[in-house]
Amino acid sequence: MLAATARVTGDLDLAEECVQDAYIAALDAWARDGVPRKPGAWLTQTAKRKALDLLRRDKVFRAKMPLLVEPDADMNVTTDETDEIPDDRLRLIFTCCHPALAREAQVALTLRLVCGVATPDISRAFLVSEPTMAARLTRAKKKIAAARIPYRVPAAADLPERLDAVLSVIHLLYTTGHTAPSGADLVRADLVERAVALARMLLALMPDEPEVRGLLALLLLTDARRAARTDARGRLVVLEDQDRSLWDRAAVAEGRDLAVAAFRTGRVGRYAVQAAIASLHAVAPSTEATDWRQVVGLYDVLLRIWPSPVVALNRAVAVAMVDGPEKALEEVDLLATDDRLAGYHYLPAVRADLLRRLSRFGQAADAYRAAVALADNDAEREFLEIRLAEVVDSAEGRSSGG
């Protein structure tokens, strides 16, 4: 709805107001007349009509005309089949990822407005505080208005320069759904499926871009494990304990084919490398049988392409499988000095697991407590609390000589 309305207004704030007004109108009209056959189309059409009414009433309709994405006088809510970008959401993602905005602002604004990700969840994805992220979003919207950035579909020649930001948006959208930053459920299936659908649309739009193939491959290979990631009670099941017969083998096969195709181009980026790592996990019959040395090697490549502390932390997990938990713990302790990981609950969680495997149960308990304090997802917190109870029992048993 927001994407379609923004195409009329050329103004995100105004589009948001009109969408909200459409929902208010629905509360009255639907209670009186019943829910229409196509509620989404009704809401979108109502929002767009309210936008046009406001523009005309405020006598700025002519001033806004240069910003209109396309003529929309017939109020047709279906996607124009001649449009180069086949979906309103993908169209607005490309629009929000305008090079006049800073990269982080592009990604954050698009996640908030187009994908509906809450500001606290975006702040967690960027490893910054919620007030900092809220301020960034406000500045980005103000810059769009002040610079009169048009809400139009970029020309085909302009798509590549915006591609990396668009890929980041879809990846972060998927990550937010794969493990929900907060709430009772581990997975937000709606965000996962939206991200996969957008990645497929992007591949149809730009079939020759290896990183688009790499991203879709990564999403499919990772999401293939969804059914095995929780038990019947919704509790988290870690990779080593998952029933691999529940993995979606069709998704694994498609993801592997896409990853291989991306590598064959010789232009390998961070998403293709991550897809290759996910592929190694997907084909292994067990955790122990995984080619961990190759996983570490791929993480080395990924760190050169994308030097991120989160990547370094994931690499440390693989190092533990190759060189043992003591070596991995040394790397994790070095990462603990990186301010960017402050508040990142996976850091103490990984450290706790390594200490547990080293039978340093007292220190592991402290690390698990730190992870529990930072975790906002109920399923993850419950898993950490169970592990905490286990290491506490082990520590007490050791102290008592049992």
User: CA-CA distance, 384 to 370, in Å (whole number)?
Assistant: 10
Helix axes 325-335, 346-357, angle to 10 degrees: 150
CA distances (Å), origin 319, targets 296, 326, 332? 6, 10, 10
DSSP state of 350: H
pLDDT in tens, 154-199: 777 878 888 888 898 899 889 988 988 878 889 999 889 989 998 9
pLDDT at 286: 93
Give the bridge partners for 183, in sequence order: 377
User: CA-CA distance, 3 to 19, in Å (whole number)?
Assistant: 10
pLDDT at 301: 96
Neighbours of 248 (CB within 10 A): 18
3-state helix, strand, coil in the chain (%, to 5): 70, 0, 30
User: CA-CA distance, 203 to 220, in Å (whole number)?
Assistant: 13
User: CA-CA distance, 22 to 75, in Å (whole number)?
Assistant: 15
pLDDT at 213: 96
What is the mean pLDDT, run by run of 10 residues, along the chain of 402 residues?
77 83 93 90 89 73 48 39 54 78 82 78 80 86 75 73 88 89 86 91 89 96 95 91 95 96 90 96 94 96 94 96 96 92 92 95 95 92 94 77 55
User: CA-CA distance, 249 to 255, in Å (whole number)?
Assistant: 10
DSSP state of 126: T
Q: Which of 233, 248, 64, 96 is nearest to 168 (CA)?
A: 96
CB 169 within 8 A of CB 144: no
User: CA-CA distance, 14 to 16, in Å (whole number)?
Assistant: 5
CB 192 within 8 A of CB 177: yes
CB 47 within 8 A of CB 1: yes
First to last CA, the chain: 63
